[in-house]
Structure 1
Amino acid sequence: MNNRMLLTALSLTLSTSAWADFTATAQEARSIAKEAYLYGFPMVEMYKTLYTQAVDKKSPNFKAPFNQIGNTAKAFTAKDTAFVTPNADTPYSFIWMDLRAEPLVLTLPPIEEHRYYSVQLIDAYTLNFAYLGTRSTGNNGGNFMIAGPDWQGQQPLKIDRLLRSESNIAYALYRTQLFDDKDLDKVKDIQKGYKVEPLSRYVGHKAPAAAPKVDWPKPLPGMSDTPDLFRYLNFMLAFAPAQDVEKDLLARFKTIGIEAGKPFTLTTLTGDQRKALEDGIADAKAEFEQFKKDQVDTHQVSSGDLFGTRDHLKGNYLYRYAGANMGIFGNSAEEANYIGYFVDKDGQPVDASKHDYTLHFDKGALPPADAFWSLTMYNGKNKLLVANPLNRYLINSRMLPGLKLDSDGGLTLYVQNKAPAKDLQSNWLPAPNGPFYGVLRLYLPKPEVVSGQWKMPLLTPVTPQKQ
């Protein structure tokens, strides 16, 4: 069945009348379900964002219909709940791209050299297949064509670069650096210069036939934690032609009813079959929790390991799952480095109801980044920004002139719930009265970050323990 035939049948994907092709034994099914859950979770999480941003016009998080650009010209605050672990340094723009009928052309305006911006191009697998912007194409702007896997045409002369997506649905996620509140109007002007149009319109040719209409299934509560996930995975796979490196994997998935564009109907499964799927999902979650504790929290595995191209991830679906679970749509290592502060220097989970903390950078050892760095605070319970009397959600490199240096030239930040002494409040990053985590982002990290030569400082609890 070709892709267009699959897509005409997408409305059947959630049908309850068709039988799932489930041929695996219960023991086999448990192991396969674990694999399929790790593989499929990022794609289904991506679908949830797609639905709320591009399909459900009544959603408070709706941005723009497919193949149109939506801009968010604001800095995130504690009142924003659409994204977990939001980035408060770079207002976003969004394009959900439907590449079935023809490619799209993204036009970027020239912007000033000292301002960072990027366009992260993400396929339906949540792989970062390419970038535009400061690092990759410069700040001079240009016209860039994004084509899906089925397009067979020639690159027009007026196109600066052709970029290929492995899937017919893809995401363009723009980040435009915001210097401070007074800079917001300038960011809005830059966003007005971001344009998207079909290739036929760009070159002045007749538009091809429209792609078949899709009946987008509404996400269900809890769908990412149960076998319901496999129903939506089948739906998403219809937009992503099978890659040669995954054909054996997809053949195994087929034995538990996972196949592109096909129905996946839980009501047709036996009790043993359904339990095998649920147990496989539980196994996958347990493996992730152990992996996070042993390797992510201890910084043996970095964000740069979890996000990137297919070649970068090399089939490591646990890594791809971890990235989507902790902060979906994260940047590739060469674009940005994320350092998570989940535990203190003693390996204990950080909790501002129990301790105040300090984070100390030696003189000359601030985070090395060619663009900028930023440390952002998040509530450990809901993964959102933390309301506080200063309305300060981060400390970044542009704030350095207003920070107080130590007598030896180093920099100490105070991470705590209640305000420190008045002369230290310039260096205070307010934390919630309970569990929290911080994310240190380095945009365009320097080579010493990637090589491991630069050593991140650790959070130090201030003793005695708070009562």
Structure 2
Amino acid sequence: MSEENTHRLVELAAEAYVYGYPLVFDLMMVETCLHKGFGSMAPAPFNHFTHSDRLADADAHFVSVNNDTVYSIAQLDLSGGPVRLHVPDTGGAYYVMQFVDAWSNNFAYVGRRATGTEAGDWLVVPPGWAGTVPGDVRGVIDAPTSVVTIVGRNACDGPDDLAQRVRPLQEQLTLTHLEPGEHRTGLPAPDAGVPEELRFFEQLRVWMADFPPSAADRAYQDRFQPLGLLEEGPSPYVPAGAALVRALTEGLALGKERVEAASRPGAGDGTPGGSGGGWSMNPHLFDYNLDWFGVGTLDSSEWKIADREASYLARAVAARVGLWGNHGYEAVYAQTFQDADGAQLNGAHRYELRFEEPPPVEAFWSVTMYDTPDYYLVANPAGRYSVGDRTPGIVYGDDGALTVHISRERPADPVAAANWLPAPEGDFRPMLRLYMPERSVLDGRYGIPAVRRVDGSAHG
């Protein structure tokens, strides 16, 4: 193979990595939920919920997991027919059931913002289904792929609220088959004989065939034919020649570099005219879904990336930094790595984050601490992972302002300790979450205050 042809295949493999990373990463998380569990949640088979029995903590090794809500997660397999979801009445309390297809598209929402908080049943149907819809369901949710993740979140104010209010709601969430049928017990298995360095492409090949995307995406992925990604039957990667192996491995590394580079702060994910102070807030991080708009979604140009090919990198970045995150109109996530002077945030120093007025939301808000580069919750002796408007005992100033104190060690001052957000020893990244954000957040008029360093030298 000529060097020119090798270069072309390397570039093609990099494009395939960016395109396919969300599918592979999503389905690897589906497998984890099926067989190992998720954070504190036990594993559960297809079409069964598993519930968190506590707010997420440092044991929940999941990218940017939240500490505001307790999760109820179900992996749906619709290959044997539709599944009926029952949701209970939450009495006005915030909750959301987010529906995510195998490609990580958010294609439907049920919950306070989308459908209200009263009880009801919803029918989740597989692609191409043309059966009879029961008359007593509130609506039909058309799934783009035969495997779907439901990410349920119930707002929770702490252990007492979890025990007395949230857990009974979790127990009322049910999934039932509409009709008898054969259902998967696991995902299609990649060929075990494929070398580890080619495993990503084998996963992508098998899962791309089993969970086809939209027609427009299928037209795009036709370009990957020279890589063997469209071949059916036995894996082309078991007998792959040296030239193809080289192209795939170099392309994988190049694709990873592109996703990582685009995931870094300052890579174009900030809101124009928005936050400043080192914060990047992108209400449109999850706008890569261009084809599937079901119950509770907003099908408008405001919430779609105009360039389809650009949407593939955006989708990969969203999976990398916040898999299973919501559209901006459901919740907005802002992150920062820097203080007001542009220096990297680090646990060797002490900081303050002062809100002159509460962030503009219709539900609630919080600031959560994460380490880098994994974006996991940070273990700390206080067992506190976030601070927000529902944190018990937080203290507001006489002027109504709230100052969050960020440091590795607990502040000596009682007021500062009440508003303390523990930091790790090394670099960190706080994230501000705004649930049901107001318009000023979505259009960039709201600016998040900068994190200010308040010590003159290394702390501790």
Is TM-score (shorter-chain normalized) higher than 0.5?
yes
Distance 2:425 2:38 in 1: 34
Preserved CA contact (<8 Å) 1:92 1:173? yes
Question: Does 2:223 correspond to 1:252?
Answer: yes
- Deviation string, structure 1 residues 107-140 (Cα, Å, up to 9, x no partner): 1111111x11010000011000000011111000
Q: Partner of 1:437 in structure 2?
A: 429
Preserved CA contact (<8 Å) 1:52 1:62? no
Q: How many residues align?
A: 428
Which of 123, 129, 138 is the aligned partner of 1:151? 129
Q: Partner of 1:310 in structure 2?
A: 290
Unaligned runs of 5+ residues in structure 1 are 1-23, 201-206
Unaligned runs of 5+ residues in structure 2 are 273-279, 292-303
Q: Following TM superposition, by how much is the alpha carbon of 1:182 offset from its aligned partner in structure 2, in angstroms?
A: 1.0
Q: Partner of 1:348 in structure 2?
A: 343
Distance 1:57 1:111 in 2: 26
| Identity score, percent | 30
Q: Partner of 2:294 in structure 1?
A: none
State which drifts further: 370-379 or 240-249.
240-249
Preserved CA contact (<8 Å) 1:298 1:347? no
Q: Partner of 1:118 in structure 2?
A: 96
Q: Partner of 1:199 in structure 2?
A: 178
Q: Partner of 2:80 in structure 1?
A: 101
Distance 1:343 1:280 in 2: 32
Q: Following TM superposition, by how much is the alpha carbon of 1:299 offset from its aligned partner in structure 2, in angstroms?
A: 5.4
Q: Partner of 1:465 in structure 2?
A: 457
Change (3 A) 1:110 1:214: closer
- Deviation string, structure 1 residues 127-167 (Cα, Å, up to 9, x no partner): 00000011111000211011111212232211111111111
Q: Partner of 2:396 in structure 1?
A: 405
Distance 1:169 1:124 in 2: 6
Distance 1:330 1:193 in 2: 24
Q: Partner of 2:299 in structure 1?
A: none
Tell me the secondary structure at the aligned position of residue 255 of structure 2: helix
Q: Partner of 1:454 in structure 2?
A: 446
Which of 10, 15, 18 is the aligned partner of 1:38? 18
Change (3 A) 1:385 1:69: same
Q: Partner of 2:360 in structure 1?
A: 368
Preserved CA contact (<8 Å) 2:35 2:43? no
Tell me the secondary structure at the aligned position of residue 327 of structure 2: coil
Change (3 A) 1:55 1:388: closer
Which of 155, 166, 169 is the aligned partner of 1:177? 155
TM-score, normalized by length of structure 2? 0.86
What letter corresponds to residue 30 of structure 1 in structure 2? Answer: V
Q: Following TM superposition, by how much is the alpha carbon of 1:254 offset from its aligned partner in structure 2, in angstroms?
A: 1.8
What letter corresponds to residue 100 of structure 2 in structure 1? Answer: I
Question: Does 2:326 correspond to 1:331?
Answer: yes
Distance 2:86 2:353 in 1: 41
Distance 2:185 2:238 in 1: 27
Tell me the secondary structure at the aligned position of residue 91 of structure 1: strand
Distance 1:310 1:297 in 2: 19
Distance 2:75 2:191 in 1: 17
Distance 2:78 2:60 in 1: 29
- What is the 5 A alignment of 1:127-276? 127-185=105-163, 186-200=165-179, 207=180, 209-210=181-182, 216-217=188-189, 226-259=197-230, 262-276=233-247
Distance 2:457 2:17 in 1: 41
What letter corresponds to residue 227 of structure 2 in structure 1? Answer: I
- Deviation string, structure 1 residues 337-393 (Cα, Å, up to 9, x no partner): 00112222233321112x21111111xx32111111011111225432222232211
What letter corresponds to residue 286 of structure 1 in structure 2? Answer: E
Q: Partner of 1:4 in structure 2?
A: none
Preserved CA contact (<8 Å) 2:265 2:336? no
Q: Following TM superposition, by how much is the alpha carbon of 1:83 offset from its aligned partner in structure 2, in angstroms?
A: 1.9
What letter corresponds to residue 71 of structure 2 in structure 1? Answer: Y
Preserved CA contact (<8 Å) 2:39 2:56? no
State which drifts further: 342-351 or 371-380.
342-351
Question: Does 2:260 correspond to 1:294?
Answer: no
Distance 2:112 2:191 in 1: 36
What letter corresponds to residue 15 of structure 2 in structure 1? Answer: E
Which of 83, 98, 115 is the aligned partner of 2:62? 83
Change (3 A) 1:96 1:381: same
Moved over 6 A (4+): 57-60
